[in-house]
Amino acid sequence: MTPEMIASIDAWIATQSGYVSRQDAIRRCVDLALGAEEQQSQQHPGRAESDGAPLVGKRAPPGL
């Protein structure tokens, strides 16, 4: 990961209530992204998976 990505993750962690480890933050981001991809593929089977629209508004660190 780039230093910018790590900084973005750390900034997101700082906005969360309670303790969130960097590993947990990354895991949450992956879960959000994979869940959004799965949901999109079920709603739009012919649509490209690279479309980032389902991730808009999710609480993931910027830059991921």
Model pLDDT, residue 16:
92
Question: What's the pLDDT tens digit per position in 19-64?
Answer: 999 999 999 999 998 987 777 777 766 655 455 555 455 566 666 5
Tokens 């389902």 identify what position? Answer: 54
Q: List Cβ neighbours of 60 (8 Å cut-off, separation of 6 or more).
A: 12, 28, 29, 32, 33
Model pLDDT, residue 35:
87
Model pLDDT, residue 46:
64
Select from 49, 27, 28 the least CA-distant residue to 39: 49
The amino acid at residue 25 is: A
Q: How many other CB atoms are found less than 10 A from the CB of residue 49?
A: 10
Contact assessment for residue 40 and residue 54, using Cβ atoms and an 8 Å cutoff:
yes
Model pLDDT, residue 19:
95
